[in-house]
Structure 1
Amino acid sequence: MQENQIETKSITELLGLNFYIPAYQRGYRWTKNNVLQLLNDIWEYRQESDNRNSFYCLQPIVVRKKEWPDIDGKTISGYELVDGQQRLTTIHRILTCILLERYNKIDLTSRGYKQNIFSIYYETRLESKTFLETSDYNKSKPDLYYMSEALECIKAWFYNNERGIPDDVMDEVRRLLLPFIKEDEKQKGINPEWSVQVIWYEINDEQQKSEDLFTRLNRGKIPLTSAELIKAKFVNADSFKELAQDEKIKRRTQLIQIWDEIENQLNNPKFWGFISNYPLEKYSNKIEYLFDVITQKKPTEKDLLYSFINFFEDTETEATLWAKWIQVEDIYRSLLFWFSDRVLYHKIGYLITTGTSVRFLSDKRKESTKDNFELVIDKLIAESIHLSWEKLNYEKSSHHQDIIKVLLLTNVELMLTNDLGNDLFPFGYFKSIAKSLEHIHSQNIDKINQNSKTEWGPWLNAHINILPQVATDKVKAEKLIREIRSLDINNRSYKYDDFKKHSSQILELIPTEDVNESEYLHNIENLALLGLSENISLSNSVFEVKRRKLIEMDRIGSFIPQATKRIFLKYYSLGNEQPYSIWTKQEREAYLLDIRKCVEKYKPLTDSSNED
């Protein structure tokens, strides 16, 4: 069996090649939006100053060598285009437009090239090859119509004057696609490698049928991923060619076996939840996450093939290629060890969850001895916590992420230091819930939407349900309950002022502490991490409503962070005399003490009070 080949090629390297579109594929069907997207992506790439020494890479074109008869019966040698017809045809249309509009011909030999623009043949529409080399408009057949419309769209894009003088814009795009040898190499800053390139995936495996591969790639428009392309690069014929045949086979076999092991382990939801902040379904091949880690791909990166493009060097030897793979294995083995060690699992899990990159942690592990690596981790945790965390305030939105870090660390530490079991903090569950900071005590309706009756009704129902047990005046409570239950809140006549009146009457009947709530309302001792996404009105509920909801969630096995569970199950209550319906001052102080013990393990309290 021959291995498939994979490399990047510039458009210049495609000149003179012949491509064949078999009958099992539909013809050219890209719409105006598709064409504009490609043009805009190329233009946007060119405008970014940090890209001037790189290249813009198209999705892969998948090919295999083939011969076929031309319209006159002459045998043509070239490549069957298994995938990439739409992209390659559009590139052809862009070049045709530029060359005809700017130079009145598509001949490239006058510009120093030995070959002209590549040709595209259609098995059932051989006349399309010639048509693509003109600016004619023809709507007699679907293929010709879409090709004509694409050219019109490209012309309009060049001539709309939004990007500058059309001739200059054409030259700029042409230099990206096809630098002229005689002219452009003389201009300062022109580098043929900084251009538009394609990923060339050549199939040599005779057992891999073109039509089956086409179907797989186009079922649901699933493209080749960075992981698949990297794997193909590792095992193709050019890889490890310096080695003896037996050693080459042994190395490839070992790589594929470990690849499968890594993929299987990364599909474990608990392991994935520990190592990644992305949902499991983000990657069709989970190992691609490790390549993203190594290439330091940013979450905002739009190029789907960024990791493939940036993983390999232009020239790889047997030694450098194997070193690349060892780096993948090394990061994987580190993650696996951290996952198996209860202490490191919790500490590193906290750091990854709060934004520390796996690549950074891996580098720190390499720089440190085994004995002091945990000290390094502890220092990183300390650095993640706000210097004056006890003075953080919910009213300052800039404090929210810092508050979440303190509360997450508290929950993780409480799980880690629990001597009664070996439970692990479920980072995957935590990342999947609607994480929100909630006031533990909130005796108001300030955040209820004044225009949303879908929030008023649930709030009223939840609170009248607790009145029979907690109301300070049972008679008034019964009367108010009957009145509210007789209402049709969805009726147009029921206004926000009515809701405000009824909510005030309810809150007056619910017991409170004789303490000014403004002194603690937005402080960390009155905040908890909750994932109560099913009903926004719960956020504005009193303590007892939230307590009952949490008990219900706990009963059915929902994930509740440890500290949050302690709060609402009255863990911090110091005696039976404590009212269950109130979040008391003593409980707040006990909760704050718990937080302080967890945080000060890493970061002693300071007197710095001016940090924002």
Structure 2
Amino acid sequence: MANNLVELNIEEVFSNNTYAIPIYQRNYAWKEAQIKQLVQDVYDYAKYDKTTTQKYYIGSLVVFERKTEDGIVYETIDGQQRLTTLNILFSVLKNEFDIHINNYKTNLHFDSRPMSSYTLEHLYNKTKKEDVNKSEKKLNVRITDAYTIAKKELNKIKKANHLEQFVNYLKANVIILRVPVPKDTDLNHYFEIMNNRGEQLEKHEVLKAKMLKVFSKEKKESHVFNTIWEASANMEKYVQHGFNTEVRTALFGKDWNHFEAEVFEDVITSFSTKIKVDNTALTIEALLKDKQQIEINKEEEDDAPERFNSVINFSNFLLHILRILVNSNPNYELLSEDEKNIPLDDKRLMETFDFFLNVEDKNKKKTFVKDFAFLLLKGKHYYDKYIIKRNLKDDKWSLKYLKVEYYNKKASHQYINSLDTNNKSILMLLSMFHVSAPTLIYKHWLNAALNYVLDDGKDRIDGEDYICYLEDLSDAYLYDRFLAKQENDYFNIIYINDAYSTANMDDLDKSKLNQGTSVENFVFNRLDYLLWKQDQEKENKQFSDFSFSFRTSVEHYYPQNPMEGQERLDTSALDSFGNLCLISRNKNSKLSNYMPTAKKEHYAKRGSIESIKQQIMMQEKHWQEIEIEQHAEKMTKILLTTRK
């Protein structure tokens, strides 16, 4: 099989090749986060590559070569989600941007899902005016949603004048490895094996083994590093649970809540001098042989249930810590700005760390690993305490620290609000940022927040100061990026400008607010936060129960395509900020053609608040161009309110 492996650029994948999704495969399942990440990954590489020769590998297609009368059809065993998304992407380029790929036509069909096959064909042949989410045809909703999401992302790239660069790079430099299985393969059995295969070694585990090599002759340092890593790797639990009682007390105090260490050597002194570790279990080979050989603390496991969901995974967390390290530690002040601008893409995890691990100076390498290990431990503790999680018990956002009290020598775990009276406001700000950036690699807000709470100049985190920082960051996001005529880079916003807006308020591109479904989700979430904040200052609060969720669909409150007999408004009024709000995609697809009165009745029966802006819109008795204009003026004034 390896001898038949074919390396194809995307244009070659779609030139004179036909693919089939067999009956044993699930249906298309990608959502906004995966689609946006695919587009943004390619876009980042396209902008980053100055030579136009760097290849970007986006995975493999495992196929069976099915011979038919019309030639070979590649039965796709693995990689169908990516392949389907690329088909959708090329249809968007053809229909919405008049960009045609050589020899491209829809080259994918589903053996057992005629609606999915028909939807792909329909998308390819649709007219530019047709809104696929409101089609009279019976279409696969997940695929039409993907079309809309891809269109929105490509519109952003076009507005940045990078669409041609993006397409050229996508066609020529984005690579898929097509791997055919042997002709006598039992495909059902092979597919079953692929979906039930044992857990593979992850990149961060290989990275750990590489970093441990610097301590090859130092048993205690190896043990301490390994324990820090394993304690931090479980993003669903507070880091204190990764240490035994003696070490935990030394590191975090009897209440588990005070971290006093200042350097890696301070952490080492917290460990017993009697350490027995078999260093052979810390090699890559041993990890591959048996991942469970590594010593992981199991003490009090029953007292440490996984009751929280993290907003990020461990591989991405490592990159956040690295970026903060090289921008805050004097040992790295000679690095260039480009070298300090660590990418937050975990697909580049190894190459990013290799820059620091491949230096010839062994002392520099060891210093780096010690600096990183210390900040990893401190960073995970502060992450647990000052960054939101999702509480699995009530499915709400949580901002709490872990504290232990002892009754009759028995430990009692308590989760307490991290910042007293300011806790709710900070929770709202953090969740506002989080839901606005669903893809992991673009959670720059998280990097900013972690950088703030880890600032060595702070004796403690003051709630009012934290709110001010996050509101300043929100201002910078809006003025220096989303409404700026020339977008500022997130790295510059955080590390050069200290999350403080440098924009000239009289030089904003406010037309970006009146672009219908192309208006950024962050804009609506920021406005809802400011409306919530205003409401909290009133005696009779209306929106106390509001919380941020992953709303991803921009709704035209007065519909673009009203039902027969209803007045059609001018496009400028329809796409005005006054007529827009952010709601969940499924509700928008159900109610999209309803008139405002019918929408009000629908939401009144349910009593839940999806959007504060929408709630205010629904308080109007009538909704025509005059109300839209007045609402736009009022909401824009609030939106452009700064903390300064």
TM-score range, shorter chain: 0.3 to 0.5
Q: TM-score, normalised by structure 2?
A: 0.34
